[in-house]
Amino acid sequence: MKHGRPLSTVEAMTAVTPHGETMSIYDLVHIDSLYTPAELAFRDTVREFVDRRIRPGIARWYEDAVFPVEIIPEMAELGLLGMHLKGYGCPGRTAVEYGLAALELEAGDSGLRTFVSVQGSLAMSAIHKHGTEEQKNEYLPRMAAGEIIGCFGLTEPTAGSDPGSMKTFARREGDEWVINGSKRWIGLATLAQIAIIWAMTDDGVRGFIVPTDTPGFTATPIQPKLSMRASVQCDLELSEVRLPATALLPGAKGLRGPFECLNEARYGIAWGAMGAARDSYLTALEYSQQRLQFDRPLAGYQLTQEKLVNMALEINKGLLLATQLGRLKDAGKLAPHQISVGKLNNCREAIEICREARTILGGNGITLDYSPLRHANNLESVRTYEGTDEVHTLVLGNHITGVPAFR
């Protein structure tokens, strides 16, 4: 039956330790013991939501290039929108809880985790970090409730890794701001009621809250795509977009403003990428135990076991890294270069795990009945946005050597 095979879940792959404890088969070093009961309970709640609402439909959504807007209210009810923000109707979850939620969401699909990231870590964080009390009270409660969707307009057609060269410009005319420019690869823009737009001004880079029904604002979906198909990315055109002075985010001046939001999203990616890797690994493991070749299961061959072991090792290392970053973040000690460690390493390893998992599935692995190639395709985007491998390599190179090498 087309798309009829259920995807693997963590619960379907468990083992009993020598001490009688039940442990997920991917968890080689008992990583679960590092989390509190509250953290595990929240993780399991999100995992149940993914199993119930995302897994049954994701192959169809991906194939049809549809984002399932019907699940937004349920995400809001679970407290997934702006989950790490405090006050203003936001859930106020810890960094580790946010990470575990990102892990489970991306085990379903990168596009669904990206929705939560754009809404909470980018659009809502911009208002929470840089907005006035009036802006926070006006927007954040309704965004946490899923009543208002936001997007984050930073990247431009000719300014991806170098946002300092953005061409979008906002000029002041009396009590108004007037914005002209273009943005590209802007997630959720056709779904959004507001856009956080970053523009150059005579006073440097500034951020603005732009209602998407403002005359001159146009969002166009980017199609067709080979990645992130169950998500929405758009081109934006801003032509003489007029805004009141109150649209300015007063706390954001210079590139530090958007970068502080990007770091929130990059942190979540370090967790999410491991979710895609874990799901691919478990799918390949289950398949290898059931698929017979030459009268024995694929799992019984040394070459297959080597692949599975290498995948499991990198997943365990990636989760340990993400957990350490989460503990540092909750302690207020997480440095930007440490976020680059997580984003660079975990995306790079996750995409290799997904590709390797596909090889175990053979020809069946190119169908949407199985998740690894879908995850690998999605990770091509995840690996690129919020800083490419090259950018994070240079961030770390600068940290190690003290010599910036971006130019």
Active site residues: 386
**Do 369 and 59 meet the contact criterion of CB atoms below 8 Å apart?**
yes
**Do 125 and 264 meet the contact criterion of CB atoms below 8 Å apart?**
yes
Measure Cα distances from 186 to 77, 150, 194, 223, 282 in Å.
25, 10, 12, 13, 32
Phi, psi of 210 (to 5 degrees): -115, 110
Closest to 67 measured CA to CA, from 184, 191, 165, 180: 191
CA distance 89 to 204: 32
Measure Cα distances from 15 to 46, 50, 232, 242, 299 in Å.
22, 22, 38, 60, 16
Using alpha carbons only, give the angle 365, 110, 120 rounded to the nearest 5 degrees.
Answer: 175
DSSP-derived 3-state class of residue 68: coil
Please compute, for residue 71, the number of CA atoms within 13 A of its CA located in the half-sphere on the CB side: 25
Non-local (6+) Cβ contacts of 165 within 8 A are 158, 159
Residue with tokens 């929470």, as numbered in its chain: 128
CA distance 192 to 195: 7
Non-local (6+) Cβ contacts of 383 within 8 A are 347, 348, 351, 389
Residue with tokens 């937004």, as numbered in its chain: 72
* Diameter of the chain measured on Cα atoms: 80
CA distance 45 to 42: 5
Measure Cα distances from 49 to 5, 32, 295 in Å.
18, 19, 38
Cβ count near 79 (within 10 Å) = 18
As given in the structure block, the two tokens for residue 392 are: 């994070």
